[in-house]
């Protein structure tokens, strides 16, 4: 019995040693292919790799004006790799493309793997048109902050050089790393925005960026290109007085509540029919029609949170099918004229932030999935509270305190900050 057992042990040990000796050695090879793109190219390459049992560790492709750049990182038996590369060379000649091979050591590959899970960010660069000097300035800031660009994608459609139909350009940079000083980087990008007529959005690339669900807009000077209280004041012959109070509030001499109360008092006696006439001729901001159409089609919940008036907010709500609308209500007397008073609680900056959080709670939306867009100081609380806060053609103080701003194009620029591409939008994007 002992002899049989010893024989079995020897046999098992021998098999283990044989298996170790005969186990094929694996190696990693980076395959780079460049040239004119054509249908079936990737399938042809993969057919050869499949024949030699190659494992695909990574793959990426870019196609610019039908010029292909394809990278494939493979792992395979080194006894087969020579034959595989030989066939790939013949295939590349047949397809009319260039091919190159680079060995990747185990340590190099493991170092690459260790970078998985590192912080990633997205930088959107937006403008009427983009020039090399603007891209150079932006990417220099990224480099000085230690951020590496992994990919660059154009979100807007190609611009014609024969017509002027395209009035916007947006490029998305996918970044890896952590900024050395994010606040300083943000300040420099905002300064660059003003100097070079270009807009930026710098966001962490996480699941919330890809799953925004609720967007809240200011109304006056955001959705519409006017301040309704100024329009009403002009009709009532008190335009100069109202503007003086507004300027005093902007200088910080009086708060929003006091300025609002004093301005509303000056509207006393104005006939409500004037409000209807103003509502029917509101100057809608560039890009609003396109933006609202896309947001509704894609299932976003939309809110107006305004320090303006409900009369005009309700008009926009009905026009665009907006889900929520909160603004200030003017009191109307039995004679159909404004009494110079308001009804209910004033919607100021603090109230806007509260409403954003309340609507998010009702809709069961994480605050990180919310967006707020506005132009004035009373929009700063909700812009700061939202997952993505955007200053739109805003006052200097607002731009200085917001992380994202749009100053060069219309309100539909928000779509690019949400990651939409023109090619995704189809007919919706042509509005």
pLDDT at site 9: 43
Q: Indicate if 100 and 154 belong to the same structural domain.
A: no
255 is catalytic: no
More confidently predicted of 247 and 207 = 207
Q: How confident is the model at residue 428 (pLDDT cuts 50, 70, 90)?
A: very low
**How many domains is the chain partitioned into structurally?**
3
- Higher-pLDDT residue of 67 and 364 is 364
Q: What's the rounded Cα separation, in Å, for the pair 372 and 356?
A: 8
Q: For the chain, what is the mean pLDDT? A: 89
Of the candidates 114, 147, 176, which is a domain's last residue?
114
- Look at residue 262 and tell me if it is in a domain: no
Greatest CA separation for the chain:
116
Task: Provide the residue range defining the domain that includes 166.
Answer: 120-204
Q: Give 251-293 pLDDT, tens digit per residue.
A: 668 888 889 999 999 999 999 999 999 999 999 999 999 999 9
The verdict on residue 255 lying in a domain is no
Domain for residue 359, yes or no?
yes
Predicted pLDDT at 24: 79
Please tell me whether residues 172 and 295 are part of one structural domain: no
Residues 108 and 143 in one domain: no
Within a domain: 55: yes
380: CB partners within 8 A, 6+ apart: 349, 374, 397, 398, 401, 402
pLDDT digits (tens, 9 = 90+) for 56-112: 999 988 888 778 899 999 999 989 999 999 999 999 999 999 999 999 999 989 888
Which of 16-20, 115-119, 159-163, 232-236 is the least confident region? Answer: 16-20
**Same domain? 396 vs 308:** yes
**Interval 222-232 mean pLDDT:** 94
pLDDT exceeding 70 applies to what percent of the chain?
91
Domain assignment of residue 43, yes or no: yes
Residue 126 domain-assigned?
Answer: yes
Query: What integer pLDDT is reported at residue 416 of this predicted model?
Result: 95
Give the Cα-Cα-Cα angle 183, 184, 185 (nearest 5 degrees): 90
Residue 154 placed within a domain: yes
Is 82 domain-assigned?
A: yes
Q: Which of 127-136, 241-250, 361-370 has the lowest mean pLDDT?
A: 241-250
User: Which among 106, 199, 205, 220 is annotated as catalytic?
Assistant: 220
pLDDT mean over 178-204: 92
Catalytic residue among 37, 199, 218, 375: 218
Cα 220 to Cα 305: distance, rounded to the nearest angstrom? 10
Verify whether residue 220 is a known catalytic residue. yes
CATH code: domain of residue 64: 3.30.70.260
Q: Please tell me the distance from the alpha carbon of residue 361 to that of residue 278, in angstroms, as a whole number.
A: 34
User: Are both 75 and 154 inside the same structural domain?
Assistant: no
pLDDT of residue 17: 47
Average pLDDT over residues 228-234: 94
Checking if the pLDDT of 3 tops 50, the result is no
Give the pLDDT band of residue 376 (cuts 50, 70, 90). confident
Crossing angle of helices 256-265/228-235, nearest 10°?
A: 30
Residue 22 banded pLDDT, cuts 50, 70, 90: low
């Amino acid at each position: 019995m002992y002899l049989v057992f010893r024989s079995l042990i020897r046999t098992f040990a021998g098999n283990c040693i044989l298996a170790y000796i005969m186990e094929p050695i694996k190696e990693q090879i980076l395959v780079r292919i460049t040239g004119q793109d054509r249908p079936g190219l990737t399938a042809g390459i993969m057919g050869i790799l499949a024949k030699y049992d190659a494992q695909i560790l990574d793959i990426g492709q870019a196609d610019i004006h039908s010029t292909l750049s394809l990278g494939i990182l493979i792992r395979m038996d080194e006894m087969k790799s020579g034959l595989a590369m030989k066939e790939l060379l013949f295939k590349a000649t047949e397809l009319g493309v260039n091919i190159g091979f680079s060995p990747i050591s185990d340590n190099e590959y493991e170092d690459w793997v260790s970078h998985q899970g590192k912080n990633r960010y997205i930088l959107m660069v937006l403008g009427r048109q983009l020039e090399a000097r603007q891209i150079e300035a932006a990417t220099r800031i990224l480099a000085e902050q230690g951020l590496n660009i992994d990919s660059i994608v154009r979100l807007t459609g190609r611009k014609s050089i024969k017509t002027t139909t395209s009035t916007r350009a947006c490029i998305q940079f996918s970044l890896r790393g952590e900024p050395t000083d994010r606040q300083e980087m943000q300040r420099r990008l905002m300064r660059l925005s003003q100097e070079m007529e270009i807009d930026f959005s710098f966001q962490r690339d996480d699941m919330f960026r890809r799953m925004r669900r609720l967007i809240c807009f200011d109304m006056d000077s955001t959705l519409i290109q006017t301040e309704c209280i100024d329009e009403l004041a002009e009709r009532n012959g008190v335009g100069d007085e109202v503007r003086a109070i507004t300027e005093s509030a902007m200088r910080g001499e009086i708060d929003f509540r006091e300025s609002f109360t004093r301005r509303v008092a000056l509207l006393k006696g104005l006939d409500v029919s004037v409000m209807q006439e103003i509502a029917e001729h509101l100057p809608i901001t560039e890009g609003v029609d396109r933006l609202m159409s896309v947001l509704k089609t894609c299932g976003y919940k939309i809110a107006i949170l305004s320090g303006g008036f409900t009369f005009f907010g309700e008009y926009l709500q009905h026009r665009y099918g907006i889900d929520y609308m909160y603004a200030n209500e003017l009191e109307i007397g039995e004679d159909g004229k404004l009494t110079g008073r308001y009804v209910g609680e004033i919607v100021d900056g603090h109230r806007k932030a509260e409403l954003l959080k309340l609507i998010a709670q009702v809709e069961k939306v994480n605050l990180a999935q919310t967006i707020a867009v506005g132009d004035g100081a009373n929009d700063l609380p909700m812009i700061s509270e939202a997952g993505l806060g955007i200053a739109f053609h805003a006052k200097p103080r607002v731009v200085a305190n917001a992380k994202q701003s749009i100053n060069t194009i219309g309100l539909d620029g928000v779509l690019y900050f949400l990651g939409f591409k023109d090619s995704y939008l189809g007919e919706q994007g042509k509005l």
